[in-house]
Structure 1
Amino acid sequence: MEHRALGRSGLWVSEVVYGNWLTHGETVDRATATACVRAALDAGITTFDTADVYALGAAEQVLGEALRGVRRDSVELATKVCLPTGDGPNDRGLSRKHVLESCHASLRRLGTDHIDLYQAHRFDPRTPLEETLVAFDDLVRAGKVRYVGVSEWTAAQIAEALALADEWGLARRIVSNQPQYNMLWRVIEPEVLPLCRREGIGQIVFQPLAQGVLTGKYQPGAAPPVGSRGAGFGRAPRFIGRVLGDAVLDRVQRLRPLADEAGVTMAQLAIAWTLATDGVSAAIIGATRPEQVTENAAAAGVRLTPDLLTEIDRTLGDLVDTDPTKTADMFAVKAEWARA
């Protein structure tokens, strides 16, 4: 496993991060979840990502239990706050009240005294930005949070937060952004990535496999394989259904010879592609089986040639979405995808 600095911060993270959205506490039983975490550790993964909203806290709890007995200083724990965790008006957002209360709840569920990377899960237009930044800063000064990041913020939102942090001399500037990013969904490239490169903010990207579509296991004109996320239950089919059109699946199948040429699986090709992007520090993988973790973790250290990267772009062509107005909309896809 290779490790990279998170932006220009002093925190190093594993190139492949293990995340548990839509799995732990939801579609994967605890024994399997623990086996997946152990497979991640065996593969050299040291960075684990979760959120208070995943399975309404159960994902954090399962992850904390799976890591019990692991030396705390040997791993980096990242979690998030913002999205609704209850029905009350203060059970969401980035108010001081919700940030502090959610942080303490996450610490209890994870079974730790500190969070290595605490992230604003989305931007909260209802709360003054200075209130949010001071709340995060207080957690850093209290030793409960080491570094601060955001997820799916626009370039303008990130820039405003950086300016306020500099003006007030806060203990920690934003060091990371967690956007959706893969071969098909590149909306951070026009605005977010250039800003973050200048400011030393590293990207920890999620959905590098586009919900499994880029693994090539979904065939155009065919039903999703039994046991796959596309054929699953709960919320998974709703998310992946947005990128299961035949036009996308046909083009993805054309990537298979490129993966063969590189000597990697389709999944490893997709993950390695994200890691080839300047400014990306790590890619988050999810899994429902330990063997998936092992396969995907092997993408760390894979270096794709410039010619291969160019051929991937040529193959996907106009299916690639780079519209920066969709930065914070993880479900928006090109109209032709929905019609396909």
Structure 2
Amino acid sequence: MDKRFLGRTGLEVSELCLGTMTFGPGTDEPTAHRILDEFVAAGGTFVDTADTYSGGVSEEIIGSWLKNQNRDGLVIATKVYGEAGPGLPVRGAGRKHILAGVEASLRRLQTDFIDLYQIHVFDDATPLEETLTTLDALVTSGKVRFIGASNLTGWQLQKAIDLSNHRGLEPYVSLQPLYNLLDRDAEHDLIPVAVNEGVGVIAWSPLAGGWLSGKYRKEAGGPPAGSRSGQEDWDAHDNDRTWRVLDVLRSVADEVDKTPAQVALRWVLQRPGLTAPIIGARTPEQLGDNLGATGWRLSDDQVARLTEAGDKPLPYPHNILAMPQFRRAKLQD
């Protein structure tokens, strides 16, 4: 598995990030440890979790595994925002909750530091300066190495970067947005901001909740047995665009002798600004299939066909800005 730098930092991470949201009720501890072992054996170093995944159990499972690993060879990412504990209504990205959250995550992970500490959701109720100064203090203390964010809008990400630059604070070095062949709204503002500012992009749900795994068929008329999707999710995706994307995905998969999931992950890996997709394997078998996305490349034509299949009309004002009569070439030196 190749390594990539996270944004403009000197932090190297594997090109696939192992997501652990299912660790707990969905994936028991022995199976989770096997998945972690196999991920590392394949060259993986980047593991993502959150304080709220399975009520903290995901972090605990990683912690029980991590204590027997080469800690310096791994990059552990977690998040803060949700409930501080069962039944507690404390939420957000305020100083009190962040400081309590980092201590709880360190205990569950059984580690002295967190490589990447991320704000899970933008907090409207807390001044952004309070959030950023608190995170900056955590980096200064050594408890956190780098900071990032997830689920922001473009202006929220840009404002956070500008405020950090203005105040001389540690900046967000990564963004974790929803991004895949079907969900591409991040292309309008978020990814351009990330590329322009040198922020690494870690895409969650790169298989669109299983829709890009190849198991969904239009003629079935509903979600496949054993899937996490319900009828509501099926109805939301049952449209010409989805089936067009899946048809092209299967066609390209046949051409390169890969599974649809491997091609969908490879497409994300080759997109501008992307550092790593987060693979959410619930079983070792799913992990093995996802690992097949590494070690090869799609051709430019294949990438273009996949991208074109999922293109949608641009929203305002991007549709205006894309008009040829309004585009100006940069002056050459």
Shared fold (TM-score, shorter chain, > 0.5): yes
- Report the 3-state secondary structure (helix = DSSP H, G, I; strand = E; otherwise coil) of the residue aligned with 2:78: strand
Is the contact made by 1:187 and 1:323 (CA closer than 8 Å) also made in structure 2? no
For 1:212, the aligned partner's letter is G
Does residue 202 (structure 1) correspond to residue 200 (structure 2)? The answer is yes
1:144-293 equivalences in 2 (<5 Å): 144-170=143-169, 172-222=170-220, 223-230=222-229, 237=230, 241=234, 244-245=237-238, 247=240, 250-251=243-244, 252-293=246-287
Is the contact made by 1:189 and 1:324 (CA closer than 8 Å) also made in structure 2? no
For 1:141, the aligned partner's letter is T
Q: CA RMSD in A?
A: 2.1
Aligned residues: 314
Structure 1 segments (4+ residues) deviating >4 Å: 237-244, 246-249, 321-325
Deviations for 1:85-143, whole angstroms, at most 9, x for unmatched residues?
44444x21001000010010001001101000000101000000010001101110110
- Report the 3-state secondary structure (helix = DSSP H, G, I; strand = E; otherwise coil) of the residue aligned with 1:255: helix
For 2:249, the aligned partner's letter is L
**Match for 2:304 among 282, 307, 310?**
310
Is the contact made by 1:77 and 1:116 (CA closer than 8 Å) also made in structure 2? yes
Runs of at least 5 residues in structure 2 that lack an aligned partner in the other structure: 318-333
Post-superposition offset of 1:25: 1.1
Is the contact made by 1:3 and 1:14 (CA closer than 8 Å) also made in structure 2? yes
Structure whose alpha-carbon radius of gyration is higher: 2
Query: How far apart, CA to CA, are the structure 1 residues paired with 2:241 and 2:24?
Result: 31
* 2:328 corresponding residue in structure 1: none
Is the contact made by 1:185 and 1:322 (CA closer than 8 Å) also made in structure 2? no
For 2:42, the aligned partner's letter is A
Distance 1:289 1:243, change over 3 A: farther
Distance 1:241 1:104, change over 3 A: farther
- Report the 3-state secondary structure (helix = DSSP H, G, I; strand = E; otherwise coil) of the residue aligned with 2:157: helix
1:1-340 equivalences in 2 (<5 Å): 1-21=1-21, 23-86=22-85, 87-89=87-89, 91-170=90-169, 172-222=170-220, 223-230=222-229, 237=230, 241=234, 244-245=237-238, 247=240, 250-251=243-244, 252-318=246-312
Q: TM-score, normalised by structure 2?
A: 0.88
Distance 1:240 1:139, change over 3 A: farther
Deviations for 1:119-172, whole angstroms, at most 9, x for unmatched residues?
0101000000010001101110110000000001111111111121112212x2
- Report the 3-state secondary structure (helix = DSSP H, G, I; strand = E; otherwise coil) of the residue aligned with 1:214: coil
For 1:280, the aligned partner's letter is L
* 1:333 corresponding residue in structure 2: none
- Report the 3-state secondary structure (helix = DSSP H, G, I; strand = E; otherwise coil) of the residue aligned with 1:176: strand
Query: How far apart, CA to CA, are the structure 2 residues paired with 1:159 and 1:239?
Result: 34
For 2:252, the aligned partner's letter is L
Query: Which moves more between the two structures, 176-185 or 241-250?
Result: 241-250
Query: How far apart, CA to CA, are the structure 1 residues paired with 2:118 and 2:190?
Result: 16
Query: How far apart, CA to CA, are the structure 2 residues paired with 1:229 and 1:138?
Result: 40
Is the contact made by 2:80 and 2:98 (CA closer than 8 Å) also made in structure 1? yes
Query: How far apart, CA to CA, are the structure 2 residues paired with 1:49 and 1:31?
Result: 18
Runs of at least 5 residues in structure 1 that lack an aligned partner in the other structure: 231-236, 326-340
Deviations for 1:245-269, whole angstroms, at most 9, x for unmatched residues?
2646633144211111123211110
Distance 1:55 1:134, change over 3 A: same
- Report the 3-state secondary structure (helix = DSSP H, G, I; strand = E; otherwise coil) of the residue aligned with 1:229: coil
Is the contact made by 1:275 and 1:283 (CA closer than 8 Å) also made in structure 2? yes
For 1:98, the aligned partner's letter is H
- Report the 3-state secondary structure (helix = DSSP H, G, I; strand = E; otherwise coil) of the residue aligned with 1:177: strand
Q: Which has the higher contact order (CA 8 A, sep 6+)?
A: 1
Is the contact made by 1:26 and 1:55 (CA closer than 8 Å) also made in structure 2? yes
Query: How far apart, CA to CA, are the structure 2 residues paired with 1:129 and 1:41?
Result: 36
* 2:324 corresponding residue in structure 1: none
Q: Percent identity?
A: 43
- Report the 3-state secondary structure (helix = DSSP H, G, I; strand = E; otherwise coil) of the residue aligned with 2:186: coil
Is the contact made by 1:118 and 1:147 (CA closer than 8 Å) also made in structure 2? yes
For 1:205, the aligned partner's letter is A
* 1:337 corresponding residue in structure 2: none
Distance 1:63 1:242, change over 3 A: farther
Q: TM-score, normalised by structure 1?
A: 0.86
